[in-house]
Amino acid sequence: YAIERATDGTDCVYISFDIDCIDAGFVPGTGWPEPGGLLPREALKLLELIVRNVPVCGLELVEVSPPYDISDMTSLMAARVICDTMAHLVVSGQLPRKEKPSWINPTCNMQVDQAWR
């Protein structure tokens, strides 16, 4: 209901994902670490729900600060956010496939540039 209400009357959404919404224990490399923030799986699930249900016209990921990043934890989480978003865009049919994946059984009825069934 919240997604429907927030996107009522819009053609698409531009997502600005602020990495410091995730708990500081998981993403310390940010300008404003947030104790008690979301767990990574919670943030990724919310992002999935948005991407799979609303046309997306763009994504930005902000507040990643490599000088404060311990063991590249924040950078890896940022990469995960981007990769997951791209995957959900493909699965939802918002980004087309350019070729049939080699691991798909040839007897499957899957056409290139069509959404998965």
Q: Which portions of the chain are predicted below pLDDT 50?
A: none
Assess if residue 59 is contained within a domain.
Answer: yes
Assess if residue 62 is contained within a domain.
Answer: yes
Assess if residue 63 is contained within a domain.
Answer: yes
Residue 103 confidence (pLDDT): 63
Residue 4 confidence (pLDDT): 83
Assess if residue 103 is contained within a domain.
Answer: no
Which positions ≥6 away from 48 have C-beta within 8 Å? 84, 88
Assess if residue 16 is contained within a domain.
Answer: yes
* Cβ–Cβ under 8 Å, residues 13 and 54: yes
Domain assignment of residue 17, given as a range: 2-91
Assess if residue 115 is contained within a domain.
Answer: no
Amino acid at 11: D
Residue 6 confidence (pLDDT): 83
The token pair that represents 5 in the structure block: 């209400």
Residue 32 confidence (pLDDT): 86
CA 48 to chain centre: 6
Q: How many domains does the chain have?
A: 1
| Measured distance CA(91)–CA(114) in Å, rounded | 10
Assess if residue 97 is contained within a domain.
Answer: no
Residue 78: Cβ-neighbour burial (10 angstroms; 0-12, 13-18, 19+):
buried
Assess if residue 106 is contained within a domain.
Answer: no
